[in-house]
Structure 1
Amino acid sequence: MQDTWKKKFTILWIGQFISLISSSAVNFAIIIWLSLETGSAEVLAFAAIAGLLPQAVIGPFAGVYIDRWDRKKTMIFADGFVAFCTLIMSVSFYLGHESLWLIYTMLGLRSVGSAFHMPAMQAAIPMLAPQSELLRIAGINQIIQSVSSIAGPALGALAIGFSSIGNVLLLDIVGALVAITALLFIHIPNPEIAEQAKASFDQVWKDMKIGFQEIYLNKGLLYLFLYSIIAMFCIMPVAVLFPLMTINHFGGDKFEMSLIEIIWGVGMLLGGSVLGIWKPNINKVVMINLMNIIIGITFSWSGWLTAAQFIFFAILTAVGGVAASLYNASFTTLIQEEIKPNMLGRVFSLYYSLIVIPSVVGLLCTGFIADFIGISQTFVILGLLISLVGVVSFFTPSLMKLGSK
């Protein structure tokens, strides 16, 4: 049994690894192209919104179907749909139609595919491995994502330096095909569904309400989601402004932009390695709270740096990457432990939707913030707010009891 689940994960991880590297390369290539072509914080913010908002809107509905459908097939079709959207974008660039609205539309449609793929992936993991291994698996997942974050930007910057953006987009299609092929070689069991009623609108709405109740009735989980939403409201504008911080404040170019992305990935790799090799006994809620504080400090400190302190900015970025990796792994594992397997699709979809909606509001303010407050001051203010969320979390009893049973 032990060897069986490990073999399945090895095949799954290989496919996802190739797919993540190609997606990371393509995403960074698009960021470089938009940054250099427009130099606009608003354009980057709108691109981020296009990639997030559809997922937020359909996420709760997607979760209901994910818990009913075959999770393996859901992942395959979602990957295929994302690849098809990328192909359309590539062809349009090849034909010379470099329209911002086309980019926004295709990013939005890719987001629809992600609304099904990511929750299905997270919901499938507890069906493949023992619960005692979930934190370690989350750590290894962070390693894979981190290596992708390191190699992806480097590959994206190299590719767009030697080829057109239309050709670079084809990398994402190759990655999706590899991920789909890997999924064909493994069996992912699905949980028993108590109600076999057809997924009519009334039934879908009922299942959505059950998902909301699963979160609402667990006060610790409710606060965990609430604080995570507030933190993401602050994190998203900062994440979008990272390329412009590198270019405008520190006077960087393509090399420095890719270097910062790579360093963030190195930090995430270190954090994932800690969890993948060594399973810490620290309470997961304590870990989440501490990582919020650390991430906030790295953002604020970065905003206080002078233009000549780029090296220190890179060091702080690496520390932030480590903290983000530990946060993500702890958060995901806590949800997988607290929620029944047949509810995970709904809960993860609801979470992804809930964090996106306020994130979009924050992103809409990004252009105003960057123009009137300044990018460096934005890092300082939002970083302090993120740290404050971590501090307040320690004084929430129901949250601190979460995961202690």
Structure 2
Amino acid sequence: MHTKINQSHWKKRIAYFLASQNISLFGSSVVGFAIIWHITLETSSGFWMMLSTICSLVPQVLISLFGGVWADRHNRKYLIMLADAFIALATLALAISFLLGFRRLELLLMASVVRSAGAGIQTPAVSAIFPQLVPEEKLTQIQGINQTLGSVLMLLSPAVGGLLLGTVGIVGAFFVDVVTAALAILVMSRISVEKVERVNPETSVWEDLKGGLRYTFGHRQLRNITICYIFSFFLITPAMALTPLMVERSFGSEVWRLTANEMVWTVGSLLGGAYVALKGQFRNKVRTAAVCLIAFGILFGLLGVSWNFTVYLVIMGLAGCFMPVLSTTQTVFIQEITEADVLGRVFSVIQLFSSSAMPAAILLFGPLADLVSVESIMLVCGGLLALVGLVYGFSERQPNKPVS
């Protein structure tokens, strides 16, 4: 459900907010790539890459439920700023340690844990704050603009991370993250955001946590979204994690091929985000999400039968176009149908289940890829993903409320 927006100032506030969050995202992405590549170059070890991935993902998943509770109990603006400061301080401590000569890889893992925990606090608050800043009829357009900006930064950050790592070393990347976090906090401080009034302000954190779970799974539409996300993220994982292996095995191990594999998805996401921003609204968001999932399923299946690398890249780029549409429509749909005082908890619950699906999937599909071809995995998962889209589309018969 939407909160009342001051129509005369919302554009300025959302501009500041998008600037703040994308500045922060850029710095985090740069240092994230730098850490991964530094560990890769230092160890050339799959075991260390596994440890790095776990340290970067698992803390965020575990703390996100509490992050949602805090987002509903406190002013979301200050929570976002504190999380940014928390992450920046951890990165600054890491930079100082490296400058003093303490360069053990374990320090990178510890910093990744702290940064991931900060993201778990910040992400539900960021998702929940949009309805406080943007009129309801503009939510989809603003989310599309945000997706486009994020895609541009995801194109730039690997290049910047690689440049810094090759010229001034990983410490330079650390300081970029500290500076961008400080800028993000400064910009965010210029926004006025009120604390959302709670229905039961006397309840404990644990009661709020259980209340968020009850609300999410007791709400038919939110329950359908959560179940859909669990299956979807599980089945999307092979396309996210195993396509570099598929490219190396089927088309060649040249570095430019692996780079192109990453870039065409991001370019597709950039185009998809621009389309959402220009379109501005989707009348039936469930049907739109279902079409996106069906398209993913078909395109991922086609990846499994690609006969040359050019065709493969075209299909991967097309698939990337659908991700911002899916993400935006479902995020806005959740914001529209959820009460303001539980919105943070609802986003954290959905994030918990969807994020947990991907590590579970890689535990299955990773070893399986050494027994069967990645192409066959893509074909099967693509077919099942299209089926999930069909079932989700039929699960929500009534249309969304008409656009005003």
Taking structure 2 as the reference length, what is the TM-score of the superposition?
A: 0.88
- Paired position in structure 2 for 1:361: 360
Aligned CA RMSD, in angstroms, stands at: 2.6
Sequence identity, in percent?
32
Q: What is the correspondence of 1:252-401 to structure 2 with a 5 Å cutoff?
A: 252-306=253-307, 309-396=308-395, 399-401=396-398
Distance in 1 (alpha carbons) for counterparts of 2:48 and 2:187:
36
Instruction: Please give the per-residue CA displacement for 1:290-314, whole angstroms capped at 9, x wherever unaligned.
Output: 11122233333223335xx332222
Instruction: Please give the per-residue CA displacement for 1:68-88, whole angstroms capped at 9, x wherever unaligned.
Output: 111111001111112223334
C-alpha displacement at 1:255, in angstroms?
4.1
C-alpha displacement at 1:212, in angstroms?
1.8
Distance in 2 (alpha carbons) for counterparts of 1:387 and 1:290:
9
Letter in 1 for 2:400: G
Higher mean displacement: 138-147 or 11-20:
11-20
2:394 partner SS: coil
CA spacing shift, 1:86–1:297, aligned 2, 3 Å? farther
8 Å contact from structure 1 (residues 63, 346) kept in 2: yes
- Paired position in structure 2 for 1:206: 207
- Paired position in structure 2 for 1:228: 229
Distance in 2 (alpha carbons) for counterparts of 1:378 and 1:340:
40
- Paired position in structure 1 for 2:216: 215
8 Å contact from structure 1 (residues 221, 402) kept in 2: no
Distance in 1 (alpha carbons) for counterparts of 2:21 and 2:265:
20
C-alpha displacement at 1:249, in angstroms?
4.2
1:145 aligns to 2:137 (yes or no): no
Letter in 2 for 1:351: I
Distance in 1 (alpha carbons) for counterparts of 2:48 and 2:239:
14
CA spacing shift, 1:35–1:393, aligned 2, 3 Å? farther
2:304 partner SS: helix
Q: 1:97 aligns with which of 103, 113, 121?
A: 103
Distance in 2 (alpha carbons) for counterparts of 1:319 and 1:154:
23
Higher mean displacement: 129-138 or 259-268:
259-268
C-alpha displacement at 1:8, in angstroms?
0.9
CA spacing shift, 1:295–1:30, aligned 2, 3 Å? farther
Higher mean displacement: 88-97 or 147-156:
88-97
Distance in 1 (alpha carbons) for counterparts of 2:309 and 2:83:
39
Q: 1:81 aligns with which of 52, 62, 86?
A: 86
Distance in 1 (alpha carbons) for counterparts of 2:104 and 2:249:
25
Distance in 2 (alpha carbons) for counterparts of 1:163 and 1:248:
34
Higher mean displacement: 186-195 or 247-256:
247-256
Q: 1:29 aligns with which of 19, 28, 34?
A: 34
CA spacing shift, 1:340–1:18, aligned 2, 3 Å? same
Distance in 1 (alpha carbons) for counterparts of 2:31 and 2:250:
25
Instruction: Please give the per-residue CA displacement for 1:110-145, whole angstroms capped at 9, x wherever unaligned.
Output: 121111111111111101111111111111111111
8 Å contact from structure 2 (residues 95, 174) kept in 1: yes
1:372 partner SS: coil
C-alpha displacement at 1:347, in angstroms?
0.5
1:165 aligns to 2:170 (yes or no): yes
CA spacing shift, 1:376–1:39, aligned 2, 3 Å? farther
Distance in 1 (alpha carbons) for counterparts of 2:155 and 2:85:
25
C-alpha displacement at 1:183, in angstroms?
0.6
CA spacing shift, 1:402–1:179, aligned 2, 3 Å? farther
Aligned length: 396
Distance in 2 (alpha carbons) for counterparts of 1:30 and 1:369:
28
C-alpha displacement at 1:281, in angstroms?
4.0
CA spacing shift, 1:351–1:377, aligned 2, 3 Å? same
Distance in 2 (alpha carbons) for counterparts of 1:363 and 1:104:
20
CA spacing shift, 1:26–1:402, aligned 2, 3 Å? farther
Letter in 2 for 1:287: T
C-alpha displacement at 1:93, in angstroms?
5.3
8 Å contact from structure 1 (residues 271, 321) kept in 2: yes
Unpaired segments ≥5 residues, structure 1: none
CA spacing shift, 1:241–1:125, aligned 2, 3 Å? same
Higher mean displacement: 214-223 or 284-293:
214-223
Distance in 2 (alpha carbons) for counterparts of 1:249 and 1:36:
25
- Paired position in structure 1 for 2:13: 8
CA spacing shift, 1:44–1:346, aligned 2, 3 Å? same
Distance in 2 (alpha carbons) for counterparts of 1:386 and 1:277:
28
Instruction: Please give the per-residue CA displacement for 1:248-267, whole angstroms capped at 9, x wherever unaligned.
Output: 54334554444333322221
1:179 aligns to 2:184 (yes or no): yes
C-alpha displacement at 1:239, in angstroms?
1.8
